[in-house]
Structure 1
Amino acid sequence: MNVDRRRRRIVVVGGGVAGVEIATSLGRRSKNDQSMPAVILVDRDSAHIWKPMLHTIAAGTRDISQQQTPYLAQARDAGFEYQPGEMCSLNRANRTIGLAPLHAPDGRLLVPAREIAYDTLVISVGSEANDFGTPGVQEYCFKIDSRLQADAFNREVRIRMLQSVAQEQDLSIAIVGGGATGVELAAELMQLTQIAEAYGAPALSSRIRITLIESGPRLLPAFPDDISQATEERLESIGIRVMTNSKVSAATTEGFELDDGPTVTASLKVWAAGVKAPAFLTNLDGLESTRGNQLVVLPSLQTTQDPNIFSLGDCSSLTLSQGERPLPPTAQVAHQQAQHLIRHLPAVISRGKRPPDFNYRDFGSLVSLAEYDAFGSLGKYGLFKGTTIRGRLAQLSHAMLYRSHQARLYGFWRGSLVWMVDRLNMRLRSAIRLD
């Protein structure tokens, strides 16, 4: 889609949960109404995957090709423009952003460095795991913060599992971080092992050891105590070793060294602890940021130093008047903030109105342990507020969050067809990635 240079521009940086929903919704309006600003989505990757599903891509229990949404195809259908690139700088005086050059894996230049002009800028670049400067993490650990990282880890898992079967060797996997990502990845890896054994990998489950390491006193610290306890018990019942109160001091080729205890041996190491925003957001042309690189925003989601720049999701820090701490970096927060801007941004741009303050509603949290179990807390709103659910109801609720996201991207009918095709493929194709 070629953007008319005379039209005002909304540039959305980051195609995660918030960014792709904003670009899709406002792009559809812009497509049908030439008085609306043109919408440009910038992302360094070529496709979108719902971030809470990355652990299934990493384990190989979901097919990456079926779950990803290519930005070019989405841009064509929704009426926005996709620009590949990674934001690296900002010029607020000229209202331009700088994009770093993109290179192929072999070093060839694909897209040169360039600038993109904006009238309104929305930064929603997400977050990444925070290693807190722990020695060895960058050299020896995998992370699964993006589609490409999850796919890279899955390729390595399949190689190591093949070696384990062919050479009758043990395979030890250790995951640091007892939040939702680490917990769900551990369960999916165990399911992967059991399905692979059913496909003809004899005694594989007896050769693979999975360890989950958490520095705090319990798993899932953002969840109620009863869910944390039940989750730990369920993980241990399916053969996962859970270590709490275990702070990692270093990662090595052999495994993880602990502050107080023996080294946890691991041939495959995953770091899923901590949260921080990308480093380039710090000192971004005078915008205010936190120690975790998040952009500080007002209740209107505008940055504190520039009303033409909005930030939302994991890369922003917002403390509401009734809150004691910033909103958590979750997909739920990102989605609600995206819907807030979708409703109010057109009026802000066309009429110069100040956007109303964002109002967050905590509808609870869900965690899925593959096909083994699921747990949920229904939050602070609704008829059943504060209720804890588990089992099939929690699994269905978890699945519906994803299907709702797909419906917002594709529309109700096409989203329903995507769901149906996904269910058919689960019946007709292998349950794990075998290529």
Structure 2
Amino acid sequence: MNAVDQQRTATAHHARTGRRNEQIEPHRIVIVGGGVGGLGLATRLSRTPGRSGLVQVVLVDRWPTHFWKPLLHEAASGHLDPATHQLHYAVQAQRHGFEFEQGELSSLDRSNRYITLDALHDANGREILPSRQIPFDTLVLAMGSVTQYFGVPGAAEHALPLESVAHAEAFRRKLLDACLRASHARRVQTAQADTPVSINIVGAGATGVELAAALRDTVRLLNRYSPFSLDPVRDFRVRLIESSDRVLPALSDTISARAQRMLAGLGVEVLSNTRITEVRADAVITERGAPLACDITIWTAGIAGPPVFRTLDGMAVNRNAQVRVARTLQCTNDANIFGLGDCAACPAGVNGTFLAPRAQVAHQQAQFLARALKCRVAGQPLPEFVYRDAGTLVGFGREGTIGDLGSRLLTRPVFVDGWVATAVYKLVYRRHVMTLTGFARMALDTASHWLRRRVHPVIRLH
């Protein structure tokens, strides 16, 4: 009997009898999803209970590397090389003493407490890893979210999502190709010489707004290089399409109004109160019937939980496929399963609302679960999660940063902009890196990025 079979036997015995055989394995915590919450939790758990031998931590993710999702708009617009900002899960596991399994969750057996991962294949369809069963005593679902297209015809086929580095790279490649075509058309004076490169961004939340601002910076920088020489004003159009009456609808009126002015100053065309009825390969159709021609459409208008959640052995999910959790972050119909981050519908208060899908929510939930799971292993009652809003910052590239900041000392968040907002905006990411790697590696990582920006072009050209 191999180690996995022994663990499955022990887990099944525990499920039947309620007693663990402490001589076989410690408490086994399996975390599915290596985002802000999942990787942060695995790293924290491995520091104290993991080193003491009380728990065994296994992290599962379909990708081999971690990338901080709030930076995806910079990767998509070419302002950073994602390869220099990725963290290999295998390296993190080796440094911190947990296990890593690459694969995609396909099923769950709640009675016998194990998950099944799909087989992993290469680009040619050849099997790399077979389907595997991973046993657990405690399961943490931290799988993030997927793009919600709201049933709009053609959206899934023709609008790019922005969920991963692969999506960001696909968008960036399309952007460079469109700019090359347009630049060539102007040099040889073809029939398309006067047609601007057009980008439609559907959804004016933080991701859409930051991407729109970053793209205006991108075309300004591309203009320095002859293959991409386009007039940033005449030859490039960015539309930001929002169904509500203002940009950043989840934030305050003050921030929204300031963002609207900054976008106008950058030359971003904002279409509010505009609903998309169809997406085509070369245009989007609005409820007003007018097609908005474009070279690329990117969809940042909504999220949902992973579709696999709807098939997982009776898991309690809401209409957006998010797992329903209590204030302890335990699944409402299985105390052995926890959920955190975008994939979990966590109560925000007594009024029936739920926490918004934000990186800081996942970060705080990971901190909470690192403490709560220690209580669970020790047989103590679980505490309840309390979210503290630290505010929201939105970056506009060279135009600066705006948002609000909150703390326990303030009764309500305060509006910030200028160098203070920009400094805090950058420090948020550095704090995330420090949480995962420690201060010394974070400092070296920061220095290496500073040097790269002085040696390499400030925009990626290939």
Task: State the TM-score bracket (shorter-chain normalisation).
Answer: over 0.9
Match of 2:362 in 1: 334
Q: Give the TM-score, by structure 2 length.
A: 0.90
The match for 2:214 among 170, 185, 188 is 188
Does 1:27 find its partner at 2:53?
no
Does 1:410 find its partner at 2:437?
yes
CA gap of 1:386–1:29, structure 2 versus 1, over 3 A, is closer
The offset of 1:324, in angstroms, is 4.0
Match of 2:114 in 1: 96
What does the per-residue CA deviation read over 1:23-76, in whole Å, with 9 as the maximum and x for residues that have no partner?
11212335532x221111111111111111111111110111111111111111
> How many percent of aligned residue pairs carry the same amino acid?
38
Does 1:86 find its partner at 2:112?
no
Rounded to whole Å, the distance in 2 between the matches of 1:28 and 1:321 is 32
Match of 1:388 in 2: 415
- 3-state SS of paired residue (1:371): helix
Match of 2:34 in 1: 15
Unaligned residue ranges in structure 1 (runs of 5+): none
Rounded to whole Å, the distance in 1 between the matches of 2:409 and 2:73 is 29
Q: Give the TM-score, by structure 1 length.
A: 0.95
Q: Which moved more, 1:387-396 or 1:355-364?
A: 387-396
Q: Which moved more, 1:149-158 or 1:363-372?
A: 149-158
Does 1:171 find its partner at 2:197?
yes
The match for 2:455 among 423, 428, 435 is 428
Match of 2:284 in 1: 256
Amino acid across the alignment from 2:36 = V
What does the per-residue CA deviation read over 1:83-131, in whole Å, with 9 as the maximum and x for residues that have no partner?
1111111101110101122222332222222211111100000012210
Match of 2:294 in 1: 266
Does 1:373 find its partner at 2:406?
no
Q: Which has the larger radius of gyration?
A: 2
Rounded to whole Å, the distance in 2 between the matches of 1:354 and 1:146 is 37
Rounded to whole Å, the distance in 1 between the matches of 2:306 and 2:56 is 26
What does the per-residue CA deviation read over 1:386-426, in whole Å, with 9 as the maximum and x for residues that have no partner?
31111221111111110000000001121121112112222
CA contact (8 A) 2:30 2:140 kept: yes
CA contact (8 A) 1:249 1:258 kept: yes
- 3-state SS of paired residue (2:134): strand
CA contact (8 A) 1:223 1:377 kept: no
The offset of 1:137, in angstroms, is 0.9
Rounded to whole Å, the distance in 2 between the matches of 1:147 and 1:82 is 20
Q: Which moved more, 1:122-131 or 1:419-428?
A: 419-428
- 3-state SS of paired residue (2:303): coil
**Cα RMSD, aligned residues only:** 1.7
Match of 2:174 in 1: 156
- 3-state SS of paired residue (1:392): helix
Q: Which moved more, 1:195-204 or 1:232-241?
A: 195-204
Match of 2:270 in 1: 242
The match for 1:227 among 255, 263, 274 is 255
CA gap of 1:273–1:30, structure 2 versus 1, over 3 A, is same
The offset of 1:261, in angstroms, is 4.4
Rounded to whole Å, the distance in 2 between the matches of 1:394 and 1:43 is 33
CA gap of 1:30–1:386, structure 2 versus 1, over 3 A, is closer
Unaligned residue ranges in structure 2 (runs of 5+): 8-23, 187-192
What does the per-residue CA deviation read over 1:145-168, in whole Å, with 9 as the maximum and x for residues that have no partner?
112211222222222222222333
Does 1:292 find its partner at 2:334?
no
Rounded to whole Å, the distance in 1 between the matches of 2:289 and 2:409 is 45
Rounded to whole Å, the distance in 2 between the matches of 1:28 and 1:381 is 27
What aligned pairs does 1:298-317 form with structure 2 within 5 A after superposition? Answer: 298-317=326-345
Match of 1:203 in 2: 230
The offset of 1:380, in angstroms, is 6.7
The offset of 1:136, in angstroms, is 0.4
Match of 1:282 in 2: 310
- 3-state SS of paired residue (1:346): helix
Rounded to whole Å, the distance in 1 between the matches of 2:94 and 2:407 is 39
- 3-state SS of paired residue (2:420): helix
Rounded to whole Å, the distance in 1 between the matches of 2:269 and 2:184 is 25
Rounded to whole Å, the distance in 1 between the matches of 2:174 and 2:48 is 43
> Between Structure 1 and Structure 2, how many residues are aligned?
432
Rounded to whole Å, the distance in 2 between the matches of 1:128 and 1:379 is 29
The offset of 1:384, in angstroms, is 7.5
CA contact (8 A) 1:28 1:80 kept: no
Rounded to whole Å, the distance in 1 between the matches of 2:290 and 2:245 is 18
